[in-house]
Amino acid sequence: MKFFLDTANIDEIREANATGLLDGVTTNPSLIKKSGRDFFEVIAEIADEVKGPVSAETTAPDHETMLKEGLKCAAIADNIAVKVPLTMEGLKTCKALRAKDIMVNVTLCFSANQALLAAKAGATFISPFVGRHDDVGFNGMELIEDIRIIYDNYGFDTEILVASVRHPTHVLESARIGADVATMPWDAMQKLFKHPLTDSGLAGFDKDWAATGFSIL
């Protein structure tokens, strides 16, 4: 499974990238607003920092304007994946961008039927929002499982990018199901490292090592 960071904070991206575990970055208008920086400036900086796909989201509701925005975003760097919404206008734009060999991330997916439409439109990535799905009483993991089955049934190349990840269990279940990517905030990614037995084991080793009086350096 690939790990993407869901952020527009360059410091978080650099810290995650230093682990060697970061495969890409997703952004959205809310994250850009939170960064307080110019859209094109921050996307260009992220794309330079990360070798993998960097999602930059369009904002127009209509196909014609959305396509213009998408082309402008794609021109920022070769590793930009243009993000479009799962609407009819968004899928028209997806098809047009894919015809130009531009990566497209179709976002705000909440049903397997929507995911099927995105794959048929040629989407590079489909982004089902599992956390938001859970918030309204549905099972986000069942959605991921349904999409995996459908994509495997028909051999679609569209990658399942699990979004709205809230905690490590979302990542674990997505990996068990066979999702291609999980995108998450930096604080959620950091939780993947944590286990109480790792912490207690390390504390024990540190105590015993200090008692030896030795130093490796």
Cα separation, 43 vs 58, whole angstroms: 12
Q: Per the structure block, which two tokens stand in for 26?
A: 């997703």
With CA atoms as reference, report the closest residue to 140 among 165, 158, 118. 165
Residue 55: alpha-carbon gap to chain centroid: 8
Give catalytic residues, as residue numbers: 83
DSSP-assigned letter for residue 161: E
Cα separation, 116 vs 123, whole angstroms: 10
Q: Per the structure block, which two tokens stand in for 18?
A: 């230093």
Rounded to 10 deg, the angle between the 10-17 and 39-49 helix axes is: 10
